[in-house]
Amino acid sequence: MTDYDVIVVGAGPVGSTYAYKMAKQGYDVALFDMKNRIGQPLQCAGLVSTNISDTKNLPEQFIDNKIKGANLYSPDNTCIRVEKEKTVAYVLDRVMYDKYLFDRAHDAGAATFIGEKVVDVDLKNTTVKTIERKYSSRIITVASGPASNTAKKMNPDIENKTFLGLQYTVKTEEQDMNYVDLRINQELLPGFIWQIPTSPFTKRVGLFTDCSYKTAETILKGQLKSTDTIIEKHNGIIPRFNSKKRIVENNTLLLGDSASQVKPTTGGGLISGFNCAQLASKYSSLMLDEEDNDYLLSYEKEYHKLYDNEFKAQQNVQNIIRDMTEDDFNYMFRKLREYNVDRIISEYGDMDNQTPLLKQLVKTGVIFKLVPKIGVRRLKNIWKSL
Ligand X SMILES: Cc1cc2nc3c(=O)[nH]c(=O)nc-3n(C[C@H](O)[C@H](O)[C@H](O)COP(=O)(O)OP(=O)(O)OC[C@H]3O[C@@H](n4cnc5c(N)ncnc54)[C@H](O)[C@@H]3O)c2cc1C
List residues binding ligand X (CB under 6 A). 9-15, 32-35, 43-48, 117-118, 143-145, 165, 167, 206, 236, 238, 256-257, 262, 267-270, 273
Q: Cβ(7)–Cβ(139) under 8 Å?
A: yes
**Alpha carbons 41 and 17: distance in angstroms, whole number:** 19
The nearest distance, CB 278 to ligand X, in angstroms, is: 14
The nearest distance, CB 371 to ligand X, in angstroms, is: 26
End-to-end CA distance of the chain: 48
CB closer to ligand X out of 264 and 267: 267
**How many residues belong to the chain?**
386
CB closer to ligand X out of 141 and 382: 141
CB closer to ligand X out of 195 and 336: 195
Q: Cβ(219)–Cβ(207) under 8 Å?
A: yes
CB closer to ligand X out of 53 and 364: 53
The nearest distance, CB 338 to ligand X, in angstroms, is: 31
**Alpha carbons 305 and 289: distance in angstroms, whole number:** 24
**Alpha carbons 239 and 257: distance in angstroms, whole number:** 6
CB closer to ligand X out of 56 and 377: 56
CB closer to ligand X out of 302 and 326: 302
CB closer to ligand X out of 142 and 370: 142
In order of 23, 69, 150, the CA distances from 350 in angstroms are 33, 11, 33
Long-range contacts of 319-325 (CB under 8 A, 24+ apart): 319/190, 319/378, 320/371, 320/374, 320/378, 321/189, 321/190, 322/189, 322/190, 323/373, 324/189, 324/371, 324/373, 325/186
CA dihedral 38, 192, 310, 358 (to 10 degrees): 150
Q: 3-state DSSP call for residue 163?
A: strand
Which residues is 29 bridged to in the sheet? 6
CB closer to ligand X out of 189 and 332: 189
**Alpha carbons 350 and 356: distance in angstroms, whole number:** 8
Q: 3-state DSSP call for residue 335?
A: helix
Instruction: Please give the backbone phi and psi of residue 173, each rounded to the nearest 5 degrees, phi first.
Output: -75, 165
Q: Cβ(92)–Cβ(63) under 8 Å?
A: yes
Burial class (CB in 10 A: 0-12, 13-18, 19+), 338: exposed
CB closer to ligand X out of 209 and 285: 209
The nearest distance, CB 198 to ligand X, in angstroms, is: 12
**Alpha carbons 8 and 336: distance in angstroms, whole number:** 46
**Alpha carbons 270 and 256: distance in angstroms, whole number:** 8
How many secondary structure helices (H) and strands (E) does the chain include? 11, 18
The nearest distance, CB 200 to ligand X, in angstroms, is: 20
CB closer to ligand X out of 238 and 371: 238
